[in-house]
Amino acid sequence: MGYVQRAIEDKVLAAARDFKAVLVLGARQTGKSTMLAHLFPGRRYVSFEDPFLVDYAEESPNNFLELYAPPVLLDGVQYVPELFRYLKLECDRRDRQGQRGLYCLSGSQPFKLMERVSESLVGRVCILELGSLSMREIMADPFARPFLPTMDYVLERRQTVRKPENIWALIHRGGYPELWVNPALDWQQFYASYIKTYLERDVRDLSVVHDLDVFRKFMVAVAARTGQMVNYANIADEVGRDASTVRKWMSILEASGIVYLLEPYTPSVLKRAIKTPKVYFRDTGLACYLTRWLTPDSLAIGAMAGNLFETFVVSEILKSYSNCGIDYRYCVSYYRGKDKRKRKANGEEVAIEAEIDLIIEESGVLYPVEIKKNTYEKASAAAAFPVLDRIPEKQRGQGAVVSLCPEPGLLRENVLEIPVWYI
């Protein structure tokens, strides 16, 4: 397999026509610079992985931008944050000539970059996120609509859907493009190198972490908890650091695109909703490597199969939005609380815990999603969905259980069962 076509390519090309600059964010090795070089083959390419260029850009920014005049592709811009204000001046100077698509920028560490962009390039740059390869991209599926658990979506999706030969092999390998462009690449060797580079470059650059071995242990502890609510004290006990340090380290993993913290849905009417976020690794292959699930077969029957399946589904849904240029942070959440009530045999009502793995909000409608790794699921898997009916200003839409079922089906009125490869 050569270059893998990315679902977001049309959005990038459109942004280059409409904005002075395009910034593509994403974790290390997700294929940002490869995609930009593919889309803009005539542009000069500058990589700030070269420390000499970093020093030059920081010491003589005006001379640097004159030497590397647009149109140009600047890779690794997280290493030169001070350059952004000079890019602003250059964009404004050339704006009088009506030029667009002057700079194609790429970088990891999105939080740090977003802070600089908001200060310098607001209104001048289009920001897009590129994750690791989605299942659609791996399967060369052209479908380009964000996931919604509705019958309309399923009927449209089935026109192009392609089922992976072995879903657990896909979950285990992960989505970093290099692993799919080069199928012979050793899985363990790739992830060992990835973590080493990540620790020595991104972590050291983002923080004051002095002991990288302890941070590596922390990464393992978080990977073992993917798909779970974050318990900072519990992780702190395991790695021998205080909870405050663990919170800072978690923000590093989030800032560099390694994990995503899914916020809870906590409307005031649901008074017993839990307000703790859940943590998900952005790439299941990396999570498998850190937790030592070394083969797809051992993963499929292992203790973490359910959590890693859920992590995969959530990650794929997020990619379906970001690949359409939609910021999913404003439309996805989860619910867990004791607002659901059950009547005992003696007539007494007791509060029981209810959980909805994912809630997708669109135009005031809440679409609940439950995630199960079973081949066949019962309607009871969606028992918590009616909790959303108690929110007066919102409407509950069609919901679904995403599973390993062979074909889509209707579990009960307004609740679908959808195969994972339909995402």
The model's pLDDT over 276-326, given as tens digits with 9 standing for 90+, comes to 999 999 999 999 999 999 999 999 999 999 999 999 999 999 999 999 999
| Closest alpha carbon to 293 in 307, 282, 279, 280 | 307
CATH 3.30.70.1170 fits 9-129, yes or no: no
**Rounded to an integer, what distance in angstroms lies between the CA atom of residue 224 and that of residue 286?**
11
The pTM of the full predicted model, rounded to 2 decimals, is 0.92
Q: What pLDDT does 333 receive?
A: 97
* Segments of the chain with pLDDT less than 50: none
By three-state DSSP, how is residue 289 classified? helix
| Closest alpha carbon to 191 in 110, 281, 255, 106 | 281
Residues of the chain with CATH 3.40.50.300: 9-129
Q: How far is CA 110 from its chain centroid?
A: 12
Q: Bridge partners of 280? A: 260
Q: How far is CA 361 from its chain centroid?
A: 17
**Rounded to an integer, what distance in angstroms lies between the CA atom of residue 288 and that of residue 20?**
40
CB 33 within 8 A of CB 101: no
Cβ-based neighbours of 193, under 8 Å, separated by 6 or more? none
**CA angle in degrees (0–180, nearest 5) for 38-39-42:** 80
Q: What is the mean pLDDT of the chain?
A: 91
Q: Bridge partners of 126? A: 22
Dihedral sign of CA atoms 337, 335, 361, 262 in order: positive
| Closest alpha carbon to 332 in 352, 358, 363, 368 | 358
Q: What pLDDT does 206 receive?
A: 63
